[in-house]
Amino acid sequence: MPKRYMPLDEEAQAIADEVLQAHHGDLVDFDVVFRFVVNEDAKGRLKYPKPNKHGVVVLGRAKCYSAADRSAGCPDFLITLLYNFWQQATDEQRRALVDHELCHCGVDDDGDNVKPMSVPHEFEGFLEELQRHGPWDHKLRQVDDQLRLWGEQEMERKGQRLMEALDEATV
């Protein structure tokens, strides 16, 4: 199945810029580039990609380039968003996806040197994402369901911070 990359359209770029400015101010001085990845069949028609080996269709990716790559002209971060998903997603899902991928982009500041870095998941998502958008996809809904099953006593011990994020998101 052919795959190609293309720049975001104006509306998508506006959403990306809005989320970046609103929630990721630490990244504004870095070069963050967004692209759509488009999956098509042999005739050029949109075709939803198959799930990966973990059974998940990857909706986006964030890549932090090395210093060597950046010196050769690569951006600090490249974020690719699945166009096939974007076309059918609600505005809130679009914002949540951009936010999720930007949560993978971090800043390593050792006092002398500030450089971009990749950030792994805190769980299959991010607390910030959950606070801002609630359990917007199936993975976050599973986390939400599991946390509610733990009960109040277990929540205090194991996940009070996460439960507060869920409560804020559903208010």
Range from 32-36, 71-75, 78-82, 163-167 carrying the lowest mean pLDDT = 163-167
For 121, phi then psi, to 5°, come to: -65, 145
Tell me which residue range forms the domain holding 164.
121-171
In this structure, the answer to whether residues 60 and 103 fall within a common structural domain is yes
Domain co-membership, 128 together with 147: yes
Are 97 and 151 contained in the same domain? no
Are both 170 and 98 inside the same structural domain? no
State the average pLDDT over residues 133-150: 80
Helix (H) or strand (E) holding 62: strand 60-64
**Averaged confidence pLDDT in the chain:** 88
Number of domains in the chain: 2
Residues sharing a CB contact under 8 Å with residue 159, sequence separation 6 or more, in sequence order: 147, 150
What CATH number is associated with residue 45?
3.40.390
Q: How large is the angle between the packed helices 91-103 and 10-23, nearest 10 degrees?
A: 50
Question: 83 and 127: one domain?
Answer: no
Contact status, residue 47 vs residue 1, Cβ threshold 8 Å: yes
Global pTM value: 0.76
Measured distance between the N- and C-terminal CA atoms of the chain, rounded to whole angstroms: 42
Are 104 and 156 within one domain? no
Assess whether 76 and 137 both reside in one domain. Answer: no
Over residues 22-48, the pLDDT tens digits come to: 999 999 999 999 999 999 988 888 888
Do residues 57 and 127 both lie within one domain? no
Q: Are residues 170 and 134 part of one domain? A: yes
